[in-house]
Amino acid sequence: MRPQILFPLFVSVSSLKGVGPKILPLVEKLAGPLARDLVFLAPQGVIVRTQTDTAMARDGEVQTFTVRIEAHLPPHRPSGPYRIRAFDGSGFLYLTFFKGGGSHLLRQHPVGSDRVVSGKVERRAVELQIAHPDYMVPVERAGDIPDVEAIYPATAGVSSRVIRKLVLEALERAPELPDWLDPAFAAREKLPHWREALAALHAPRSETDLMPQSVFRRRLAYDELLAHQLAMAERKAGRKRQSAAAIPASDIARQAEAALPFSLTGAQIRSLSEIRGDLMGGERMSRLLQGDVGSGKTVVAMLAMADVAAAGRQSVLMAPTEILARQHYETLAGPLEAQGVGVVLLTGRDKGLARTEKLKALTSGHAAVAVGTHALFQDDVSYRDLALSVIDEQHRFGVADRRRLQEKGAAAHLLAMSATPIPRTLELTVYGDLDVSRLDEKPPGRTPVATRAVPMPRLPEIVGRLKSAVDGGAQAFWICPLVAESEDSDLVAAEHRAQSLKAIFGDKVGLIHGQLPNAQKDAVMAQFVDGNLAVLVATTVVEVGVNVPNASIMVIEQAERFGLAQLHQLRGRVGRGARESSCVLLYDLPLGKTAQARIDILRKTDDGFLIAEKDLELRGGGDPLGLKQSGFPAYKLADPVAHRDLIQTAADDARLVLSRDPEFKSPRGRALLALRALFDWKAEAPDVG
């Protein structure tokens, strides 16, 4: 139940003055549906207005003048601007209106009237002008013009000033709340009270007040991080309270491991031991197996699934696409079936009698392992005794999809897998409700990928070398960039490159982009995997985990447009076979300092975890590593990069609270209930189980 003290914030924005049916959807899109969302909408900037006269006016700055209207100057042609000439005793100021004007301006500001005008000053030759003044009011209303004004996001139909007015009205509804911070921590960090920090957020005195490291922003950021960590800690504790059958390590798994043509790495042995500890513990496992491209996650999952099969129970491995599911099946089926473990592949392609037979094998338990796509959790699919769900790239499945799979078994253990390394400092924001195992070693025998940076003018030379390699039986990926924030421009770039390469390689060139239907993408990818295509031109939709051992060349066009972690992910798609492999980073001149740093790091290391940390350092704030596509939380007030020093503290605080006061009975516990309800992470945060 939401505490009653928060009710004023949890009302529709339509209850605010001036929010009618026309602007309601615009306000909701900008901020959200609730008054609370407006309160959490931080200003994007701040305008500091200085009072001056025309003789001292500074070009390009926002300034305020007291003037007398001297003349109205209608346009000479219909499309021209309407101008008002004003005088302040030291010089003339022209007020310019490019749209609208005429009679209403003449009525509002007649010749001879005194006005206070504020806006951005521009010098045009000898003239001083303000285009569309921010304020133009009678002298007696000069107090209406703020000396300092917070600037909020705006959209067509709703100005920043309208949003500011709504934010300030919503802010008036924010109550005083008992403080939920640990007093010692608040004192050490010199953090103000929540309500004080919120008021300061919306009343900045300078740009410095808007910086992530201002004391007000840090206070509000910590509140949000603490609420999120508390929600994840509760979910994690809730899962651990669910009992699950203990599954011991087995001879089947040991025999399957002994039959492998390679030895497990130390990281694989350690991760498998951690997973087995969970499976034998009698509590429901919720673990993430995080490993770089090609680090051997599937083999670790396979040995855990062998243990489950030996216990007479079932496992599933779900992948986001059919081609990845088929790849996992080919990895698992041989070693497991050699030990007498039945494995089936179930995808949307299965129809009729073949599908019926597979469903019977799952219902009867004859098949102990199922590998597949969304087909694994459809209504007519049932399992005799599902004990372990393995979800590959779990962030690519919706919450409902993951839950439907989990519900196919009673308190089934969960093993999520991700090939997107995340810096340790950010790990808790994404995976705070999971135990994490890391595969931070490469299996022996992986061919190093030689990485070269080449300027775009040398493109013909690269194409010539590619032709020689393809004639020798090699295959290559050719990645095209997102030229602008548009699917269309992305598509044009890829199509253009595919056409130019077809002129050289003929029908051996394939094309994949985000606008193709999934079935068509899978079909083209399958042609490439089967060796029927020599060059695959693609946007970044190419699957991270797709294994094409014969592909030994990766060309990334305009590599300076990609983030470091993304370049590393793309490079990881080659070097998986016996051929010497190379990655060519084509870049436009001149190469910027940050882009040069990315390329230098990529040439020095292939450690995905180190690269993720370096990417974080280079990018700073915003969306590091493209993490919004990796299940990264949509924080409103916290910047997980700028505030990463607060993340571990919030996680430790949340765990301590739950261990000492799990029912939130203490005064601080009751305050934390209000915090939890304020951010509502229980309802909004993704849940892997």
- Which tens digit of pLDDT belongs to each residue from 272-283? 999 999 999 999
Question: How crowded is the C-beta side of 17, counted as CA atoms within 13 Å?
Answer: 7
Residue holding tokens 């493209």? 626
Query: 683 pLDDT exceeds 60?
Result: no
Which residues have C-beta within 8 Å of that of residue 444, sequence separation ≥ 6?
Answer: 262, 263, 265
Query: 624 pLDDT exceeds 60?
Result: no
Residue 489: per-residue pLDDT: 56
| Confidence band of 295 (pLDDT split at 50, 70, 90) | confident
10 Å CB burial of residue 542 (0-12, 13-18, 19+) is: buried
Residue 485: per-residue pLDDT: 46
Domain(s) labelled CATH 3.40.50.300 in the chain stretch across: 251-439, 449-605
| Confidence band of 422 (pLDDT split at 50, 70, 90) | confident
Mean pLDDT confidence for 455-469: 95
Strand order across the 581-587 sheet: 449-455, 581-587, 551-556, 475-479, 535-538, 509-512
Residue 518: per-residue pLDDT: 77
Query: 321 pLDDT exceeds 60?
Result: yes
Question: Could you tell me which residue, 573 or 225, shows the higher pLDDT?
Answer: 225
Query: 582 pLDDT exceeds 50?
Result: yes
Terminal CA-CA length for the chain: 23
Query: 688 pLDDT exceeds 60?
Result: no
Residue 607: per-residue pLDDT: 85
Mean of per-residue pLDDT scores for the chain:
90
C-alpha span between 326 and 526 (Å, rounded): 10
Class of the CATH domain delimited by 251-439 = alpha beta
Mean pLDDT confidence for 81-97: 95
Q: Which two tokens stand for residue 275?
A: 């997973």
Residue 176 DSSP code: P
Residue 444: per-residue pLDDT: 75
C-alpha span between 578 and 662 (Å, rounded): 55
Task: Give the CATH number of domain 449-605.
Answer: 3.40.50.300
Residue 544: per-residue pLDDT: 53
pLDDT 10s digits, 142-152: 999 999 999 99
Which residues have C-beta within 8 Å of that of residue 21, sequence separation ≥ 6?
Answer: none
Which residues have C-beta within 8 Å of that of residue 86, sequence separation ≥ 6?
Answer: 65, 67, 68, 69, 70, 92, 93, 94, 95, 115, 117
Question: Could you tell me which residue, 137 or 410, shows the higher pLDDT?
Answer: 137
pLDDT 10s digits, 490-549: 555 888 999 999 999 999 999 988 788 878 888 898 899 899 999 999 987 765 567 788
Burial annotation 243-266 (CB, 10 A radius, 16+ → b, else e): ebbebebbebbeebbeeeeeebbe
Mean pLDDT confidence for 4-32: 95
pLDDT 10s digits, 25-42: 999 999 999 999 999 999
Residue holding tokens 């196919």? 408
Task: Give the CATH number of domain 50-145.
Answer: 2.40.50.140
**Which helix H or strand E contains 51, and what residues bound it?**
strand 50-51
Query: 92 pLDDT exceeds 80?
Result: yes
Query: 364 pLDDT exceeds 90?
Result: yes
**Highest-pLDDT range among 172-176, 290-294, 603-607, 615-619:** 172-176
